[in-house]
Structure 1
Amino acid sequence: MAKSRNSLLGVGGQRKKLSRAEQQGAGSARESDRKAAEDKKQELVRKMRERAAAAGAAPAQDAPAGS
């Protein structure tokens, strides 16, 4: 008889190994690194939007009004 291929063993990805500190609820440096990276990204996006808004507003002021 052929093997059944209906088993769902291993479906859904793998769980990451938790360190002893993470198991006790202390968290990890990985999470704080992610938050710091996210904060940097948000700051960069904000600066880029400000620059784009300033660059977009500058040519509009230089354009002649009678066109």
Structure 2
Amino acid sequence: MAKGRNNLLGVGGQRRKLSRADQQGSAPARAADRRASADQKQDLLRKMRERAQGAEAQD
């Protein structure tokens, strides 16, 4: 017989592992950080596109 026969951990699907921050309930702050970084990325992409269009207009 297998050693872990009586150990049925994970049989019904495994739970997602939570970080300490998520366990302590600071998930909303984390989501706000994600939004802020996404906004920064969008702003950077917009600036890069504007510069690329400006370079094309000069040529």
In the superposition, the TM-score normalised over structure 1's length comes to 0.53
Moved over 3 A (4+): 5-8, 13-16
RMSD (Å) for aligned C-alpha atoms: 3.0
Cα distance between partner residues in 2 of 1:54 and 1:42: 18
Structure in which a larger fraction of residues adopt helix: 2
Relative to the length of structure 2, the TM-score reads 0.59
Whose Rg is larger? 1
Using the aligned pairs only, state the percent identity: 6
Question: Which runs of 5 or more residues in structure 1 are unaligned?
Answer: 20-27
Residues 4-61 of structure 1: CA deviation (Å, up to 9, x unaligned): 2574633325655x66xxxxxxxx3x12211211111121111111111111101100
Gaps of 5+ in 2: none
Q: How many residues align?
A: 52
